[in-house]
Structure 1
Amino acid sequence: MTRFKPARFHCLFAFALLLPLTGLISRADAPAAETASALAASTNPAASLVPDPVLRTGELPNGLRYAIYPNKEPQGRASLQLVVLAGSLHETEEQRGLAHFLEHMAFNGSTHYPPGTLIEFFQRMGMSFGGDTNAFTSFDRTQYRLELPRTDADTLAEGLRVLSDYAGGLLLLDEEIDRERGVILNEKRARDSVAYRSFVAQFGAMLPAARLPQRLPIGLESVIEEAGRDRFVDFWDTWYRPERMIVVAVGDFDVEAAEGQIRDTFVPLVARAPARELPDMGRVTELEEPHLFYHYEPEAPGTDVILTWLRPYKEAPDSVEKRLAELPRNLALAMLNRRYSELAKGEDAPFNTARATAGDYYRFVEEAEITVSTNPKLWRKALQVGEQELRRALEHGFQPDELAEVVADFKNALAQSVRGAPTRHSSQLSSEIAEALFTDTVFTSPEFDLALLEAPLAQVTPEDCLAALREAFEGDGFYVSVIGNAKLSVDKSGNASAALAEQEILAAFQASHSEPVAPPAVRETSEWAYASWGEPGAVISDERVEDLDLRLVRFANGVRLNLKQTDFEKGPIYVSLRVGEGELTAPAEQAPGIGDLAGATFDAGGLGAHSADELRRILAGHTVGVGFTVGVDAFTLAGATTSEDLRLQLQLMTAKLTDPGWRPEALRQARKQLEQLYLSFKYTTGGPLVTEVANLLASGDPRFGLPEKDVMLSRNLEEAREWIDPELASGPLEVAVVGDFEPEAVIAAVAETLGALPQRAERRALDERKQVRFPAQPFNKNYGIPTEIDKGDVRVYWPSHDALDVRRSRRLSLLGAVLDDRLRLKVRQEIGGSYSPYAGNVASNVFPGYGYFQAICVVDPSQAEQIADLIVEIGDDLARNGVTADELERARQPVMTSVRDSLRNNTYWLRSVLSRAQEKPEVIDWARSRVSDIESITAEELSELAKTYLPATRASRVIILPERPAAAASDVPATE
């Protein structure tokens, strides 16, 4: 896969990178570096950063670096990573795209693994393709990852041998290269989007003299289609050199033995060609005045207004002083972003979201950025909010209570990192260690980080944060960008004019900048209103399930409490409330959309006594929180806490049940998001899939899928409140608690809160509302969407069965995994028809008899019909000829690895077992039988199910293809 950065250039990516942005006011009175020096002197931190003492690092004679970290979670597993300091930046013009292409070729034949055998080898070991075996290519690196299911000497040796083959044993056969070309082109197609095109346009405009925009990792189609083996070999031999490689091993193993195996495996690795000079990165264009950029994307669901400051990267080795210098800046950004968040809730807020970021990337550029997402009609007002709120902070600084809030959260995060350090997962650690070594950052322990930052956090002042923010956002040259579906000025012919648009943007910026900004209003503080709930409830039953170490408690008011104390994670306690009867009880006339609206507004509405922003301030420094979801047969409130905050967490959850806020700002925000969502539906496959197809798969049941936009937007808070409040106040309530706690303390805390509530109702059968059917006859549906994005979506569905019979459900799920692997082999590997085909079984645990297999492929539109036929043929072949023993094992072993991992996974116990252990006691037996039952599944059983469910005569098809949009003025949103 390609990756642009584990950070982001602009909000179009979910990565998080930050930029420098000043020039809105004069230079800061005191630079952040001086603040850092003062903090360092006052707190007397360690003279230098101290690496985590558990980490062992070394370097082989050939220059390869390695890092080893013993770690017990998951037990008996290891995470291996190979980092190659070579990415798309290192390509010649004739190699554009080959760094990423080469990453794919690592799976297509090497010294120890002939073509077509590596993925199957992984599967037989118990590793899933894409989950336990993966890789990515970015501008500056290629990184391979293996999550080994065992850590015995043979398995560890095998994993290292695979990495060694990636490093020095690729075959790069012509026929395999040719076979993979279609996969790469389809990955390029799958990743193409309005967001990607906007990113490319902005990237090139802001770094016109840099190499980065000229080396996007996916590369050029002409190179992907035509490059011969010699170009691959040249890149591989030149850049895959031992001195440009890092091996990371983290897991439940003996360090000495692992180090010996790394040495034995990688010492023989040698460079295969002379070293090549590093490419010239170009330069960052430094501006002396505002520069305007406009990019129109008619298919975008909204418009982003962005203020961006760029400057050349200044080399700054990781150090105590550097980390302390970043602290006030990060606190300042957190305070600024909270201001933006509060403004977005305003009645007349002209934007959806806004975010300030700052940082550096690729050791080439430093940046600061304000990104405001809005409706195209409101881009000028959004620009005003983004610019003026930043300037308000830069001119007037921050208030002590704002700082206290973010400091409390920072300190709590550091403390929780220390507590959880002994039970971190190896995959997380290996990625963090690889990142540290790649970036020449010292990998410090959570204990060191807390010791380093605790005193500075207590001493940092609002003035320190202001100085840091001013230094981050400094300079008179910056970019003002408008990107998305806002159509700005047009020329006399009615065509968009970049020059006129830039003048329009500049005028809007200057108008905003000319307005003075007042200091921020003083925020009111309030006391927590939900500390007392009356007389604690009485326990009337307390049952222990010894073999699974569960405890099932019942209170006099009908509240059920299920507990499992674990040592899987140090610190966290996971709490889930399953309450009421969910969407089954929604009024029929409101069923289209009411559940979605409730889910989108409940959390944002806060509580009756506290808004969401007030809650954030009151709860600062505490590990508490609640997320609300609307399920088919229950509502769920879930969150994570610690033993210190358990009572507060339960008070918060009880308040959510009895006094939800349903504030109008929640509806305003939800409707803005829905407007954008429905606009995206017009131009993407999501439209027909979530509106029409989801409904079609349930034979027209209005509870399935989203309704038309007007219907969705007509839903309101009063409807949601009238439906949900009674469900929360008196509906059946089952509480699940899993994690690091003392059981008696949990029982007492629940008694004081949820146990003190009025009597709860018993759950009803509601059988008449559980009737849903897949269409009786197969269907073929074709949809066209008006888009310039040249990709199609192919879906094939076969009716199957529900998940109420767990033995059948497990077998259908495993058959889905076999079908998925057949898709990989036939559609991806053999014909290169899709980058990431997927198949699986979807089974309801509420609606009797309801379930279906689905197969999904993103394809070249010209191949859509062919691939739909092929998918149906694959299913039919399984129906006629059955599942082989090898296919069964390759599907089963990764599942067994996952199942064994889940036995030490708090989330599994919370969601799959304890959330309804008293409502549905059979789930306890399901937990007992999982391992033995899945191990007992036979190829004959799966073959019989395939014969029943996957014949071609049962297949339904959906094909969604692009239609070139007509250039109609009516399709273009107006602006104000």
Structure 2
Amino acid sequence: MRISFLTQVSVVALVFLGGCRAASPEIDPSLDAPFAHMASDLPVDPAITYGELPNGLRYAVRQNATPTKTASLLMRVDTGSLNETDETRGLAHFLEHMAFNGSENIPEGEMTKRLERFGLAFGADTNASTGFTETTYQLELPDVSEEMLNETLGIMRETAERLLLAPDAIEKERGVIQAERRARSNPAFRAFLDQLDFYAGHTVLPARLPIGTEATIDTIQPEQFREFYRRFYRPEKTFITLVGDLEPAFAVQKIEEFFGDWTASAEFEAGMNVEIDSVAITTPRARVYSDPEIQTSVNLAVLKAVEEERDTVATRKTGRIEAMGNRMLNRRLGKLARTESAAFISAGVGRSNFFDVAEVSSLTVNAQPENWEAALAQGEQTLRQALEFGFTQAELDEQLANDENSLKVSVQTSPTRRTPRLARQIIGAFGGEAVVTTPETALERFMASKDEITLDAVTEAFREGWAGLDAAPQLYLQTSDILEEGETKLLAAYRKSAAVEVSPRAEDKQLSFAYNDFGPAGTVTKRERIDDLDATLITFDNNVRLNFKNSDFEENVIRMSARLGAGTLSAPIADAPGFETYATNMLSLSGLGQHSVDDIRTLMAGRSVGVGRGLGDTTMTLSGSTTPDDLELQFKLMAAYATDPGYRPEAQAQYDKYIRSWYPTLDSTPAGVASRDLGRILRSGDKRWGLPDEADLLDVDFDLIKSWMDENVLNGAIELTVVGDVEEDVLVDAVAKTFGALPERPAQSYVPDPALTAIKFPAGTKRPIKLTHAGDAETARLYIYWPAPDGSDVLQSRHAQMLSNLFELRLTEVLREDEGATYSPGVSQSSSRLYPGYGFIGAQIEVSPDRIDLMAEEIREVAESFRAGDIDPDVFERAIKPILENLETSLENNSLWMSVLREAQSDPSGLERFRSREDTYQNMTLEDLKPLAEQVFINASAVEIQILPGG
């Protein structure tokens, strides 16, 4: 289960939770329609069947066969934390948890198990979320048989009306809810709460966070649960979405069958309204929040009242025009952030709707603590420059080109949109009172109104969005420094910046792409057909290798990757411990030799191209996706990154600012401490793993990257993998002109010296290794790892993965369901072929510090029972069923085939490993796993790490 917004976000991001509705003078605003499209002139997607049962329950079904034989089932109940009282804060979310804790026809603890027996993995396929105004339950169905629909719709009906809400089950779940609350309680979240109080402290919102409070979680009584359940879980407040590979009429029939006889048992109660204080939002205000464990940012916003609106053709056009100005300003801010003179690390603006009662325009700048005033000034003056002088036609043309291309690609790829995405689009639109249209009609509307999206129209809308800023600025600073008289200084800093005169921005220079000619096209010297995988392996005369599979799983989409030369095992990490982090970030920030990152964005406007970069242990990787129209340009861009990376000094300043801002916050949470230290601990102190000291991250330079790139990457072997909707001859031609035209490359891929891959698991700990964090005093994290075999034996590796799945299921039963001690136990498994003799299975839980030793004993007891062969066959069946159900549908995924083929020529053993996949899992038994469990789960060999408060 998850709470919909409890992440580190700016409060202004909360506006999206309220939904954005638009109005049109052609539509009667008083029309009370059950669906938004019935009160709109927007053409609804005709593939969706909407309906309403006599009891008021509404539904939407849609047939979709990507992937085949699967479906997504979602149920939205129109209630959330705003329906709670002061005494029942957190009840809506707590109730969502109780859906898995017993109903009239499903005993406590059996709902999840039943779903797992049907092939739904907990977390991946079964989940739920609670927000201010809605609670949503979701199930991903691995098949669409009537038996599957009966089971899942039956469970949804049990959830909607038949929960037992037994006192003992409620008591048991309290610990789980408290664990979830603790897991989200950290310095960044506390800063978020303070910012929410600043912007909305005069409303009910800060007192209605879905997670609730420690006190109310512990004191909500069973009768209060039942009262809330009766009042707000009602058919007329429920919406069901069923999308998948099934006939709409049959889907409707099944919904009617399971929900048609549901009747409400209590009178309707409206939720609490959110009301903005008009005085507060029209008065200049400032607040400063300090905590040594948070990153520094300044938010400048203006709020004003809005009227309720509907989603129509006119307001979608208006919304696009309103968004253009902020998008162009974001491009300016991004360019400025990548200069040496930038005082901020990053910055952005946005305009959105706050629960239908306030419109918010906001600017956020992230900076080092000592630079907050200069960062605010740069951000404010860049904003004011746009307000006073507007934008250029070139800036607008770039955004229009991107919009047009995005809409065209949506049309091209729409036939193979995946079912979960469509289902979430439908349920999200319902909650936001928006119309689900089609990509085709969206493109038509854009093309019809494109000429009306003028500089004048955009500038006018942009200025309207920021109107009132100077009269009533809302300023919020969160910082790791202590700032005496902070509010006075913050307002003064704003006024000082606002008094600085700004001048028009210089026009951007005209650009032309510099990487169109890589030399004479290469020729193919070898072509091998892999019939059983429907793939082709191709080699060019310069030894560049190409692995290809034609696929229509994503219509008009082509995915690709390039493996270049060596990876971090060849890097000088012994001399420069921060090399990997530095190189990964700096190469991404530096663009190409002839073009900066911003130049590339401008040059590629309106095109479906882009390149991601990564550093692995043995290779550098480039990745991207494109459409058939842009295939050749995509390969030109990738070849440019493979041959002429940029080493731009301005990237150094941005990197340094980011590290100095981010690194000190690592100890603010157990997870941050783990990311810094665990990798090194689990490899017996090898400094190539984990994160080095801040000084080491800053003590690297471009000369070191360049010399390493020249020696190990730029002239190394190249292996390309392409999967997608493209003909082989077209692909070969594009590769021949780019990668195939490069100078000859080695035929042999990089193979690291055995000394570099010699790592070892540490000796077992008699006492736990104790680390500390500086975050919430109630939160700790426990890790226990057992050494396991490496990945050289594919069968043993799969057994290890399945064993870890079983172990996680059992820990969930013991620690969550029986003990109520943790929200979500996790188990990881590592069995790489690269590091001989090294592997592990590890368990980790978030837990209160006072129970950490007890929970360690519980985990070790489960490990000992596994070692003794005491493993419930039902646990095995529930662990393997989702894998078996997913074997066939996983083949309809281009990402899977990318992973299968990525080393098809340099390491063909991967193909054999894939070929054995289905047979391995179809024939796997519990008895196959017991010898490995006996070998692995030796508690004397385990490493225990506790991350406790007190840093």
Output the TM-score relative to the length of structure 1.
Answer: 0.93
State the secondary structure of the residue aligned to 1:590: coil
In the alignment, does 2:523 pair up with 1:538? yes
User: For 1:642-721, what aligned pairs fall within 5 Å after superposition?
Assistant: 642-721=627-706
1:547 aligns with 2:540: no
Q: Does 1:478 align with 2:473?
A: yes
Q: SS of the counterpart of 1:360?
A: strand
In structure 2, what is the equivalent of residue 771 of structure 1? 758
Residues 1:208 and 2:215 are matched in the alignment: no
Is 1:86 matched up with 2:73?
Answer: no
CA distance 1:411–1:480, change in 2 (3 Å): same
Deviation per residue, 1:597-648 (Å, 9 max, x gap):
1111112111111111101100111111111110011111000111111111
Matched position secondary structure for 1:170: coil
Aligned position for 1:37: none
Question: Is the CA contact 1:2–1:218 (under 8 Å) kept in the aligned structure 2?
Answer: no
Q: Which moved more, 1:747-756 or 1:270-279?
A: 270-279
Distance 1:734 1:607 in 2: 21
Question: Would the alpha carbon gap of residues 680 and 630 (structure 1) be closer, same or farther in structure 2, given more than 3 Å must change?
Answer: same
Aligned length: 932
Query: Aligned-pair distance for 1:849?
Result: 1.7
Which of 282, 288, 312 is matched with 1:288 structurally? 282
**SS in structure 2 opposite 1:134?**
strand
The structural deviation recorded for 1:687 is 4.9
Give matches, 1:595-606, under 5 Å: 595-606=580-591
Q: Give the drift of 1:783.
A: 1.3
Of 872, 883, 892, the match for 1:904: 892
2:40–2:310 CA contact under 8 A, matched in 1: no
Deviations 1:321-349 (A, max 9, x none): 11011011112111110111011011121
- The counterpart of 1:428, out of the listed 421, 432, 449, is 421
Q: Distance in 2 between matches of 1:104 and 1:173?
A: 13
Q: For residues 655 and 198 of structure 1, what CA distance do their matches in structure 2 show?
A: 43
The 2-side partners of 1:459 and 1:674 are apart by 44
Matches within 5 A, 1:331-342: 331-342=324-335
Cα distance in 2, alignment partners of residues 805 and 656 from structure 1: 36
Q: What's 2:3 paired with?
A: 3
What residue in structure 1 maps to residue 716 of structure 2? 731
1:253 matched residue in structure 2:
246
Cα contact 2:74–2:137 (8 A) shared by 1: yes
Q: 1:28: which partner in 2?
A: none
Does the CA contact (< 8 Å) of 1:133 and 1:145 recur in 2?
yes
2:181 is the alignment partner of 1:195:
no
Distance in 2, matches of 1:110 and 1:581, equals 57
Q: Map 1:731-750 to 2 at 5 A.
A: 731-750=716-735
Cα shift at 1:550: 0.4
Indicate if the aligned counterparts of 2:24 and 2:312 stay in contact, CA closer than 8 A: no
The equivalent of 1:917 in structure 2 is 904
Contact 2:61 2:248 in 1 (8 A): yes
Letter in structure 2 aligned against 1:474? A
581-590 vs 934-943, greater mean Cα deviation? 581-590
- Which aligned pairs between 1:84-483 and structure 2 lie closer than 5 A? 84-286=77-279, 287-300=281-294, 302-475=295-468, 476-483=471-478
The question of whether the paired residues in 2 share the 8 Å contact of 1:12 and 1:196 is answered with: no
Q: How far apart are residue 777 of structure 1 and its match?
A: 3.9
Whole-Å Cα distance in 1 between the matches of residues 282 and 162 of structure 2?
A: 51
1:402–1:630 CA distance, 2 compared to 1 (3 A): same
> Who is 2:30 aligned against?
none
Alignment partner of 2:883 out of 895, 902, 927: 895
Task: Say which is worse superposed, 5-14 or 622-631, in terms of deviation.
Answer: 5-14
Matched position secondary structure for 1:75: coil
2:821 is aligned with 1:833: yes
The match for 2:36 is none
Contact 1:685/1:785 (8 A) holds in 2: yes
Q: Cα gap change, 1:19/1:74 in structure 2, threshold over 3 Å: closer, same or farther?
A: closer
- The letter for the 1-side match of 2:290 is Y
Any stretches of 5+ residues in structure 1 without a counterpart?
A: 21-31, 35-45, 490-499, 966-976
SS where residue 920 of structure 1 aligns? Answer: coil
- Tell me, in whole angstroms, the C-alpha distance in 2 between the residues paired with 1:335 and 1:303: 25
For 2:196, the aligned partner's letter is F
**How far does the alpha carbon of each residue in 1:284-326 deviate from its partner, in whole angstroms, 9 at most, with x for none?**
44433421111112211x2110011223341011111110110
Determine the C-alpha separation between the residues in 2 that align with 1:426 and 1:15.
Answer: 27
Match of 1:944 in 2: 931
1:19 and 1:101 mapped to 2: Cα distance?
Answer: 24
Pairwise CA distance, 1:9: 6.9
Amino acid across the alignment from 2:657: K
| Deviation, structure 1 residue 559 | 0.7
Q: CA RMSD in A?
A: 2.1
Query: Structure 1 residues 252 and 922 mapped into 2: Cα distance closer, same or farther (>3 Å)?
Result: same
Deviations 1:935-971 (A, max 9, x none): 21111121111100012112110001111x6xxxxxx
Q: Which position in structure 2 is the counterpart of 1:805?
A: 793
For the 8 Å contact 1:12–1:199, the answer to whether it is kept is no
Query: Which has the larger displacement, 585-594 or 202-211?
Result: 585-594
Q: Match of 1:946, as an amino acid?
A: A
Are 1:622 and 2:607 counterparts? yes
Q: In the superposition, relative to structure 1, how do residues 566 and 148 fare at CA in structure 2: closer, same or farther (>3 Å)?
A: same
Distance 1:727 1:915, change over 3 A: same
**Residue identity opposite 2:409 in structure 1:** Q
Are the structure 2 counterparts of residues 739 and 463 from structure 1 closer, same or farther at C-alpha, using a change threshold of 3 Å?
Answer: same
Matches of 2:803 and 2:776 in 1, distance apart?
A: 37
Cα 1:474–1:13, aligned 2, differ >3 Å: closer, same or farther? closer
Alpha-carbon distance, 1:702 to partner: 2.0
Is residue 794 of structure 1 aligned with residue 782 of structure 2? Answer: yes
Are the equivalent residues in 1 in contact too, given 2:75–2:238 (CA < 8 A)? Answer: yes
In 1, the alpha carbon distance for the partners of 2:237 and 2:776 equals 40
Separation of aligned partners in 2, 1:614 and 1:219 = 47
**SS of corresponding position for 1:121:** helix
Matches within 5 A, 1:3-22: 3-5=3-5, 10=10
Residue 926 (str. 1) matches residue 913 (str. 2) = yes
Q: Equivalent pairs: percent with the same residue?
A: 36
CA contact (8 A) 2:576 2:696 kept: no
TM-superposition CA deviations, 1:857-910 (whole Å, max 9, x none): 111111111112211221111111343322211111112233333211101111
CA deviation string 1:126-168 (max 9, x = no partner): 1111110000000000000000111011211211111111111
CA distance in structure 2 between the aligned counterparts of 1:5 and 1:65, rounded to whole angstroms: 25
- Could you tell me whether the CA contact under 8 Å between 2:781 and 2:948 is conserved in 1? yes
* Secondary structure at the counterpart of residue 623 of structure 2: strand
- Deviation, 1:6, is 10
Structure 1's 788 and 80: CA in aligned 2 closer, same or farther, altered over 3 A? closer
Partner of 2:833: 845
Secondary structure class of the residue paired with 2:683: coil
Structure 1 Cα separation of the partners of residues 763 and 288 of structure 2: 51
Q: 2:862 aligns with which of 874, 879, 895?
A: 874
Rounded Cα–Cα distance in structure 2 between residues aligned with 1:642 and 1:947: 50
Displacement of 1:689: 2.2
Structure 1 residue 15 displacement after superposition: 9.4
Work out which of the residue numbers 801, 825, 850 in structure 2 matches 1:862: 850
Deviation (angstroms), 1:383: 1.0
CA 1:320–1:64 in 2, change beyond 3 Å: closer, same or farther?
same
Question: Unaligned stretches of 5+ in structure 2?
Answer: 26-38
- Once residues 281 and 802 of structure 1 are traced to their aligned partners in structure 2, the CA distance between those partners, rounded to angstroms, is 56
Cα distance in 1 for residues equivalent to 2:273 and 2:679:
51
